[in-house]
Amino acid sequence: MNDQSEFASSILHAIDGKLEQNQIEKLIEKPKNPDHGDLAFPCFSLAKMERKAPHLIAQELRSNITSSLFEKVEAAGGYVNAFLNKNTVARQVLSEIIQKKSAYGTQNIGNQGVVTIDMSSPNIAKPFSMGHLRSTVIGNSLALILEKCGFQPIKINYLGDWGTQFGKLIAAYKMWGNEQQVNEDPIKELLKLYIKFHEEAETNAELDEKGRKWFKRLEDGDEEALNLWKWFKEASLNEFNRIYKLLNIEFDSYNGEAYYNEKMDDTVKLLQKKGLLTESDQALVVELSDADLPPCLIKKSDGATLYATRDLTAAIDRKQRYDFVQSLYVVGHEQSLHFQQVIGVLKKMGFSWATSMTHVPFGMVLKDGKKMSTRKGKVVLLEDVLKESIEMAYQNISVKNPDLPDKETVAKQVGVGAIIFHDLKNDRMNDMDFSLKDMLRFEGETGPYVQYTNARARSVLRKGRYTPDETFAESFACTNKEWEIITLLKEFPDVIRRAQEQLDPSQIARYAISLARSFNKYYGHVKILKQDDCIKQRLTMVHAVTIVLQESLRLLGIDAPEEM
Ligand code: ARG
């Protein structure tokens, strides 16, 4: 039983059944001001029922509450304020953390149910965009959070490796391409070709026709077209893999759009069989007006299949292959309508599991307040950004800690961690501005700040020659100075649960900042290493803080250097 329900049940006893346990639990508040206790029960609704003044009810209740969990219960105006027994709570929390270590906060909500996560999914022959980075790091963190909660995450990289753009690209390569240049710097070269194609096509109508022809050859399995496509794909993947390696992220599947080429017919046939296809402007669509959505385009007049048809096919395939309990799509919010339509069509097809599909949207990445676009070549290459961040982190570290061994590894952990943390700390729906300098600060709400705090705490442990021992937790004496940290440590499992329920890693990022702040305040006020009777107990708490900070960072996909 948690504190809230224990408090509620002691109130329940005191009011003999005028409210029910869950009604009471809903009313209980967590006061912001520590002078008002850890939990507060407002007596106003009871007062209304009883036609009595709230403060009288509060006084009556106060004298009838008995519970060893609380060291003090007070009536204050219309509230009953309860103060937790700090020592009891602190000892219990610290023992649990020291015992469980990184498994603290692990829970079995998922019962090993599979959750597929469609994430990253960059487009071949195009730069890996900031949007794809967001999808990658949000998806990865969700996978870690879900796993912590007892689910089995499957990370799927649904590569954008098919579509008419490959016809254009092949046409462009045949006209202007150079094998050696493409091999040296594939994405930059292919992007150049792609941009040139679009520029020239504005004045030369023949080009689009050429592109269409090449795509047709590709779809028909023409060997030359297929070989070029494969080459573009491998070369692009090589580059993407360098980014994934820097980010320390792996996938369970790379089945992208092309993978579904042969399976698309079955989907169209199934839609036909269920009588869901109607003709509109010579194209085949599924009407979704009953769901208040525009019709979903399934097949164009020229017979070409579409993005939605592929996603329908992929969804059905994933259900068969993985039998997921939930299927997530971490994709920018500009594709919301697309996913509503796909889910809408699957529901009409009678697939009850369509309700377990969730689009997890996120906002755009802005540079100086503006959207970044590929077409115009106004693009920031992500690998360059990561490298720059690592380089800047290296400079920072060299100034702060010139004697640090293996600065390269630490700079990588900090530089990459800064970018990931910056992405995950805000509500994912917010657009996000991108400034490396801000992300890399060692103060404020940054990844390096949390990493630095953890490294500092670990250095305290080294200096104090601390070795973990649960018995120190059992004799912990908690003062107000430690209490803020203890309550935060205690909250960690709830934070993880909230992050899982809301599919929201920012819950954990923000929590990590609070815990880091709280620890730094403590570090500033208390001589942790003072040789007195309580040093072992204080170090035990510091140890618990490092365990929880490191686990928080891990759940975000960020490394925690021991020193920095
Ligand atoms: N490749 C797409 C893009 O870059 C994202 C794919 C998202 N996933 C999906 N199942 N549609 O816009």
Same domain, 71 and 167: no
Q: How many helices (H) and strands (E) does the chain have?
A: 22, 13
Residue 284, in any domain of the structure? no
Q: Tell me, yes or no, whether 41 and 168 share the same domain.
A: no
d(CA 440, CA 453): 14
367 in any annotated domain: no
Distance 32 CA to ligand 1 centre (A): 43
- Please report, for the domain that includes residue 26, its CATH number: 3.30.1360.70
CB-based contacts of 351: which residues, under 8 Å, 6+ apart? 316, 319
pLDDT digits (tens, 9 = 90+) for 251-299: 999 999 999 999 999 999 999 999 999 998 889 999 999 999 999 999 9
Spans of the chain, pLDDT less than 50: 374-377
Any ligand 1 atom below 6 A from CB of 365: no
For ligand 1, the distance from its centroid to the CA atom of residue 339, given in whole angstroms, is: 10
Together in a domain, 398 and 522:
yes
Check: CB of residue 80 under 8 Å from CB of residue 73: yes
Tens digit of pLDDT for each residue in 341-366? Answer: 999 999 999 999 999 999 999 998 87
- Pick the closest to residue 162 from 287, 271, 263, 261 (CA basis): 261
Taking the mean position of all CA atoms in its chain, how far away is CA 492?
Answer: 16
Give the span between the Cα atoms of 197 and 208, in whole angstroms.
9
* Boundary of a domain, candidates 41, 59, 84: 84
Q: Are residues 409 and 552 in the same domain?
A: yes
Q: Is 482 in the pocket of ligand 1 (CB under 6 A)?
A: no
Distance CA 424, CA 428 (A): 7
Does the Cβ of 161 fall within 6 Å of ligand 1? no
Claim to verify: residue 414 and residue 539 sit in the same structural domain: yes
Ligand 1, pocket-test mutation among 237, 331, 379, most atoms within 8 A of CB: 331
Does some domain include residue 124?
Answer: no
Q: Does the interface ipTM go beyond 0.90?
A: yes
Is residue 550 situated within a structural domain? yes
**What would the two tokens of residue 7 be?**
């408090």
Look at residues 328, 557, 524 and name the one whose alpha carbon lies nearest to residue 447. 557
430 assigned to some structural domain: yes
Determine if ligand 1 sits within 6 Å of the CB of residue 466: no
The pLDDT score that the predictor gives to residue 376 is 47
- The torsion angles phi and psi of 65, rounded to 5 degrees, stand at -90, 130
- What is the 121 CA–ligand 1 centroid distance (Å)? 5
CA atoms within 13 A on the CB side of 468: 15
Q: Which domain holds residue 401?
A: 392-556
Q: Does ligand 1 come within 6 angstroms of the Cβ of 260?
A: no
> Considering the domain boundaries, does residue 139 fall inside one?
no
In the chain the first and final C-alpha atoms are separated, in Å, by 40
Dihedral of the alpha carbons of 472, 474, 475, 480, in degrees to the nearest 10: 100
Q: Please work out whether the CB of residue 160 comes within 6 Å of at least one atom of ligand 1.
A: yes
Ligand 1, pocket-test mutation among 121, 123, 255, 372, most atoms within 8 A of CB: 121
Provide the Cα torsion 248, 252, 257, 260; round to 10°: 170
Which H or E element spans position 542?
Answer: helix 535-556
Are residues 75 and 167 both part of a single domain? no
Is 158 touching ligand 1 by the criterion CB < 6 Å?
A: yes
120 within ligand 1 shell (Cβ under 6 A): no
Ligand 1 mean position to 48 CA, how many Å? 55
Residue type, 303: G
Q: Are residues 63 and 181 in the same domain?
A: no
pTM for this model (two decimals): 0.92
The number of distinct structural domains making up the chain is 3
pLDDT score for 438: 84
- What is the Cα Rg of the chain in Å? 29
Which of 217, 248, 279 is the C-terminal boundary of a domain?
248
Whether ligand 1 lies within 6 angstroms of the CB of 331 is answered as: yes
Cα 228 to Cα 231: distance, rounded to the nearest angstrom: 5
Same domain, 80 and 174: no
Q: Is 492 in the pocket of ligand 1 (CB under 6 A)?
A: no
Which among 84, 103, 120 is the end of a domain?
84
Are the beta carbons of 454 and 560 closer than 8 angstroms? yes
Q: Which residues contact 30 (CB under 8 A, 6 or more apart)?
A: 38, 39, 40
Is 128 a pocket residue for ligand 1 (Cβ < 6 Å)? Answer: no
Query: What are the residue ranges of helices labelled H in 151-273?
Result: 164-176, 179-184, 186-201, 205-219, 223-247, 264-273
Ligand 1, atom 4: closest residue by C-alpha: 122
Considering the domain boundaries, does residue 254 fall inside one? no
pLDDT on residue 366: 78
Best residue among 158, 305, 311, 337 to mutate for probing ligand 1's pocket (most ligand atoms within 8 Å of CB) is: 158
pLDDT above 70 coverage of the chain, percent? 97
Could you tell me which residues come within 8 angstroms of residue 502 by beta carbon, excluding any fewer than 6 positions away? none
Q: Are strands 357-360 and 370-371 parallel, antiparallel or unpaired?
A: unpaired
The DSSP H or E segment spanning 508 is: helix 506-525
- CATH, residue 500: 1.10.730.10
Whether 505 is in a domain gets the answer: yes
- Asked if 213 contacts 168 with a C-beta cutoff of 8 angstroms, the reply is no
